[in-house]
Structure 1
Amino acid sequence: MADKTLQNDKSHPVRRFIEALPFSKALQMEMEEMADGRAVISMPYSKDLVGDPATGVIHGGAVSALMDTCGGAAVMSHPQVTAATATLDLRIDYMRPATPGERITARAHCYNVTRSVAFVRAEAFDEDQTRPVAAATGAFTVAGG
């Protein structure tokens, strides 16, 4: 069962850490859920993030940043992790362009934690929640390893 303290507590250190990152602020990322190694973070559509002016599609780097931040939040919310984390490796497969004008939401799950590395899977969706925009797998540091 999800830890409701993490999910609903606006002052929780993990939530404060993610929401205080200048890059997260610049992309207007919003923490929607976070508990027990899972996180959901969304980002609104912005013309400032468009990678192709002809189509209005968001740049893949913005999607990548969203998924990376969400993966880090999932790691930091895992019960076995007690400190901040850093990305060691992140592989992203872009499935399709995000629909212009639509909010993008990333969902990440930290599914395994070793002494020094945490492993994450993530997906990003626009308003079509049935077809991912991108999928990712990543490895993140675990303090003390």
Structure 2
Amino acid sequence: MTDQPSFDPRTATPFLTSRGHSGWLGLRYSDHGDDWVELELPWREDLLGEDGQRVLASGPILSLMDMASGLAIWKAMDRFEPIATLDLRVDYVRPAREGSPVFGRSQCYRVTRSAAFVRGLAHDGDASDPVAHIQAVFMKIGQSADKRELPGE
């Protein structure tokens, strides 16, 4: 039995997305499983990328996927601990449909002593027709990361 409660994305997301950049974007909880989390980015006119184009900018989608990835890692580990994004690759396949929210689903498929690996996709209602795919690596910087002693210690 552990003295630390398990990580619940449904209850953690409103707190984690209520401030800062995530709060301004309006990210919302959508769904989760044992090792994945899906968030929603509502479509807004002020998130368009270029004047005259009705296409959602890439930055909000990147932020959506980064937050969904962090939540997926915490869900897979079943606890919250500090992590940092080391590498997040986003391959955009097509623009998101005008007026549609974008959903970001990330799956944590491996956790090691010092890193966590995720993959995922962004879609606007049909996961079989993605807007983007992602691959990412996060560094674990919490207390549970194995601390190595320096020579002479």
TM-score (norm 1): 0.85
Shift of 1:49: 0.5
Task: Determine helix, strand or coil for the equivalent of 2:17.
Answer: helix
Question: In the aligned structure 2, how far is the partner of 1:63 from the partner of 1:91?
Answer: 12
Letter in 2 for 1:42: E
Aligned Cα root-mean-square deviation (Å): 2.1
Q: Is the 8 A contact 1:121 1:138 kept in 2?
A: yes
Q: Which residue of structure 2 aligns with residue 122 of structure 1? A: 120
Question: In the aligned structure 2, how far is the partner of 1:21 from the partner of 1:78?
Answer: 24
Among 21, 40, 43, which residue is 1:42 paired with? 40
Structure 1 residues 16, 141: CA separation in 2 closer, same or farther (over 3 Å shift)?
Answer: farther
Gap regions ≥5 residues in structure 1? none
Q: Is the 8 A contact 1:76 1:85 kept in 2?
A: no
| 1:107-143 superposed Cα distances (whole Å, 9 cap, x missing partner) | 0000000000000001000123321000000001222
Q: Is the 8 A contact 2:121 2:134 kept in 1?
A: yes
Q: Is the 8 A contact 1:80 1:113 kept in 2?
A: no
Question: In the aligned structure 1, how far is the partner of 2:106 from the partner of 2:33?
Answer: 11
User: How many residues were matched structurally?
Assistant: 138
Q: Is the 8 A contact 1:34 1:73 kept in 2?
A: no
Gap regions ≥5 residues in structure 2? 1-5, 147-153
Please identify runs of 4+ aligned residues in structure 1 that moved more than 4 A. none
TM-score (norm 2): 0.81
- The percent identity for this pair of structures is 33
Q: Which residue of structure 1 aligns with residue 8 of structure 2? A: 6
Letter in 1 for 2:8: L
